[in-house]
Structure 1
Amino acid sequence: MRCPEHKPRIVISGTYCTGKTSLSLALSLATGIPTTHAPTMREILPGLFPGTSLKDCSYAQLLRLGMERFERRVHAEASLSTGFISDGCPLQEWLYGSTRLITGAYPEENSWTMLWKKIKNYRQHQDFELLLAGFEKMAKTYAKKRYDIFFHLPVEFPFVEDGHRPTSERFRKVSEERLLACYNELQLETIPLTGDLPERLGKALDHLNVQPKIPISQAVSIANDIKLKKFDQVQLERRV
C-alpha cells in the first residue's frame, strides 16, 4: 500500500483512438497530478532510422522503436516519485507490436497478406516473435508492479482513418480483445470509463474522490486545445 500523502500512479489505458491523451490531459488539469506522455513511434523514427517510413520498418526496427518508447516512458515516470497520470503504459508498446503479427496494421492487410509476409520473412518473423516474448514479460511485470489505478477506455469513438496512422479498425478491435485478456491474465483491477470526455472525466474524479481544481468543462476545453496544438501537430509521413 502507498502512503496516504502520496498521489496515486494512474494509467489511462486503451487501444488506438480511444481518447487516452485527451483524458490524461483533462484529468491532470482537474486534479493537479502531473501527466506523462511517451513519444509515438513516428516521433522517434527519424532519429533512429532516418528516411524510413513506419510502414517499411523491418521487424527488428519495429521492436527497437517499441523498446525506445518503453525506455523513455520509464525515465519520465521515474522522475515523478509523488504520483502521475500516464497516457498509456508499456502494455500498449507490447500490444501494438504483437498485434501487428496477427492483423497487420493497414486496412489493405488481411490474413492472406500476413501469411505471405510470414513465409517471405520467416527467419525475421521467428526472431521477432522470440524477442517480442521477452519484451512482453518485461512490459507486463512493469505494468503489474508500477501502477496503482488502471482506468480503461473502451472502443467507443469512430476510428479516424486519416491515411497516415499505422493501424486499421480490425487492428483496433483485435488489440482491444487482447488488452482485456491481458488485464485478466495479470489480475489487474481496471475501472472502465465510458461516455464522452466530460463524462469520463467526471467518473474518474468520482472514483478518485477528488474535487476538481477547475470546472470539468474548463479542464476539457484546455485539454482539447493542448492536444490540438501539441499532439495533433506531429508530422505524419505520407504514404505512397
Structure 2
Amino acid sequence: MTNKDIRLVISGTYSTGKTTTATALSIATGIPLINALSAREILTDIYPGRRFQDMSATELMALGLKRFEERIREEAILYKENSSFISDGSVLNEWIYGTVRMKVGINPGSKLYHRIAKAILGIPSRRFFMKYMAAYGKVAKIHSRQWYTDVIHLPVEFKMSADGHRPVSEKYRNLSDKEIQKGFQEIGKQPVLVSGSQEERLKQIIRIYNLPIVVPIEQAVKDAEKIIKTNREAVSKRIIEQYKEPTLKDKIKFISKF
C-alpha cells in the first residue's frame, strides 16, 4: 500500500497521545490530516460556559452529532483533493465513547454525588438513549468500514493528562480502550498496536506502510507538539473565560435534567 491510497486512523482512547502522533505523522509524511474541530472547540462554540463533566445527555448528543458532521465533511474534502488522509480518531471512536458512557455513567469525570444522581434520574430515558446509540453505531460502522483502510491503535501506556478538562475516568479509559479495538475488529479492520515514544511510534508506522518522509521525524514531533500546545492553550483559555461557577439553584436544575 502506498500513501496515495491510505486513509489511516490513529486510534486510542483519551490521553494516549493520538493527536500528537497523528499531527506529527502528517507533518513527517506530507499526508494531510483531518482538520475537524476538536470536541473542546465545539464545546466553546455551541455550549459556551459549560464543562464536559457538567453536560447533560442531550448536550452530549448534540456535541457528538456536531463532531460527526465535522469529521464527515473534512474526510470528504480531503478524499476529493488527495484520496488519502490521516485521521485523529474516527467516527467509530466517537460512537464507542458514547456507548461506554451508557455503561459507566454519562459524566464519568464528575463528582460521585453527581454521577449517582444522574444515574437514578436517567433511568426513564435510558431505553431511548440505548436505541439512539444503536442507530448511531449502525451508521458509524458502515462509514468506518467503507472509508478507512487501516487502523493504528495506541494503547493506554500512562495516566490521564491532568489538564482539568478530561471528561472521563481511568475506568472509562480502560473500558473504552478495549471496546475501540473490538469495534474495529468487528468491521474487519484489525488494529495494529503501536507504542513507545512519539518518535518510536512514527518510525513504526512509517515502516509498516512504507510511507515517505518529507520532514525528519524528530522535527515533525517538535512541530506537532508546538502546534498542539498553542491550540490547547487558546481553547483552555476560552473555556476558563466562559465558565461561570453555577449557583445551588443551577446545580439542582442541571442534575434534574437528563
TM-score higher than 0.5: yes
| Equivalent residue, structure 2, for 1:168 | 169
Q: How far apart, CA to CA, are the structure 1 residues paired with 2:219 and 2:198?
A: 12
Q: How far apart, CA to CA, are the structure 1 residues paired with 2:175 and 2:15?
A: 14
Q: CA deviation at 1:5?
A: 8.2
Give the conservation status (yes or no) of the 8 Å contact 2:49–2:244: no
Alpha carbons of 1:197 and 1:46: their partners in 2 closer, same or farther (altered >3 Å)? closer
Q: CA deviation at 1:94?
A: 0.8
Q: How many residues align?
A: 236
Q: How far apart, CA to CA, are the structure 2 residues paired with 1:122 and 1:18?
A: 32
Give the conservation status (yes or no) of the 8 Å contact 1:33–1:84: yes
Q: CA deviation at 1:80?
A: 0.9
Equivalence map 1:90-169=2 (5 Å): 90-104=91-105, 105-106=108-109, 108-109=111-112, 117-169=118-170
User: Of 69, 84, 90, which aligns to 2:67?
Assistant: 69
Three-state SS of the structure 2 residue aligned to 1:80 is helix
- State the AA in 1 paired with 2:66: E
CA RMSD of aligned residues (A): 2.3
Alpha carbons of 1:11 and 1:126: their partners in 2 closer, same or farther (altered >3 Å)? same
| Equivalent residue, structure 1, for 2:250 | none
Three-state SS of the structure 1 residue aligned to 2:52 is coil
Give the conservation status (yes or no) of the 8 Å contact 1:152–1:191: yes
Q: CA deviation at 1:177?
A: 1.4
Q: CA deviation at 1:130?
A: 1.3
Give the conservation status (yes or no) of the 8 Å contact 2:51–2:165: no
Q: CA deviation at 1:233?
A: 3.1
Q: CA deviation at 1:116?
A: 5.0
Give the conservation status (yes or no) of the 8 Å contact 1:94–1:132: yes
Q: How far apart, CA to CA, are the structure 2 residues paired with 1:155 and 1:115?
A: 27
Q: CA deviation at 1:39?
A: 2.2
Q: Deviations over 1:66-121 (max 9, x none)?
A: 01101111000100122111111011211222211222321644xx9756533322
Three-state SS of the structure 1 residue aligned to 2:164 is coil
User: Of 21, 30, 51, which aligns to 2:19?
Assistant: 21
Equivalence map 1:215-230=2 (5 Å): 215-230=216-231
Q: How far apart, CA to CA, are the structure 2 residues paired with 1:147 and 1:153?
A: 17
Give the conservation status (yes or no) of the 8 Å contact 1:107–1:169: no
- State the AA in 2 paired with 1:53: R
Three-state SS of the structure 2 residue aligned to 1:225 is helix
Give the conservation status (yes or no) of the 8 Å contact 1:9–1:148: yes
Q: How far apart, CA to CA, are the structure 1 residues paired with 2:94 and 2:192?
A: 21
TM-score by length of 2: 0.83
| Equivalent residue, structure 2, for 1:209 | 210
Where does the alignment leave 5 or more consecutive residues of structure 1 unmatched? none
TM-score by length of 1: 0.89
Moved more, 78-87 or 185-194: 185-194
Give the conservation status (yes or no) of the 8 Å contact 1:60–1:128: no
- State the AA in 1 paired with 2:7: R
Moved more, 67-76 or 227-236: 227-236
Q: How far apart, CA to CA, are the structure 2 residues paired with 1:214 and 1:5?
A: 15
Q: CA deviation at 1:53?
A: 3.4
Q: Deviations over 1:150-185 (max 9, x none)?
A: 111111132113332211111101111111221222
Moved more, 20-29 or 49-58: 49-58
More helix by percentage: 2
Alpha carbons of 1:154 and 1:239: their partners in 2 closer, same or farther (altered >3 Å)? farther
User: Of 39, 50, 53, which aligns to 2:51?
Assistant: 53
| Equivalent residue, structure 1, for 2:248 | none
Q: Which has the higher contact order (CA 8 A, sep 6+)?
A: 2
Q: How far apart, CA to CA, are the structure 2 residues paired with 1:184 and 1:149?
A: 11
